[in-house]
Structure 1
């Protein structure tokens, strides 16, 4: 399959942050009704720490098609390091796309619609249908 101009430059997703904040607020409201105040405050601290820990996971800055199933990935925390990975599957969930890799050591990547330009988002959706 010929793939011309398959370079994707990712931005930070504001939508993902707002969605996480919305879910966080809903959980806090539900826990407020279910727990005593000390346990509720403890749960808020635990959820905040968990959120910060999950924010430290590597985030893709750029990825590009190379050949066959081979792609190159550049991450924000290692801007000068490029990793080569084979993509097993790309699944389109309308407002985000999940990329699965053959190597089980690499966790799946989620790409939100607001991380790409409109043309790049359309190209990635087409790629997900073809894959």
Structure 2
């Protein structure tokens, strides 16, 4: 596998992060709201996760073509995009694209092997 091709798997860190934020928010709301209203917010949060976050198509591969040109592979097929900028947050990297139809992609540390993660960080710094 060459250094410009990154095969992504599902991220446990992303799921744990979302769960931690939801748990903290629910603990705060438990202190502030009556139990019946808190249960309504709990159900609303679970429904929002199931409808919006769980059903989003996952990017399965990123291929660096040339310069800022990349190919995104997802369940729906391949899409050629141009990166506008990259933000490195140490635990994850966010890729922003120039086209409005391509949503930003978050690549978590546990989605790729350590060697690929290091080369991805170097490539992000070069762009």
The 10-residue stretch of structure 1 (58-67 or 38-47) with the greater mean CA deviation from structure 2:
58-67
- 2:114 aligned residue: 118
Pick aligned residue for 1:87 from 60, 65, 83: 83
After the TM superposition, which segments of 4 or more aligned residues of structure 1 sit over 3 Å from their partners? none
- Structure 2: state its 5+ residue gaps: none
Pairwise CA RMSD: 1.2
User: Aligned equivalents of 2:3 and 2:103: distance in 1?
Assistant: 25
The number of residue pairs the alignment matches comes to: 125
TM-score (structure 2 length as normaliser): 0.92
- Structure 1: state its 5+ residue gaps: none
3-state SS, counterpart of residue 58 of structure 1? coil
3-state SS, counterpart of residue 57 of structure 2? coil
Report how far residue 67 of structure 1 moved: 2.2
Report how far residue 125 of structure 1 moved: 0.4
Residues 63-119 of structure 1 show CA distances to partners (whole Å, capped at 9, x for unaligned) of: 1011232111111x32xx111111111111111000000012222111100101001
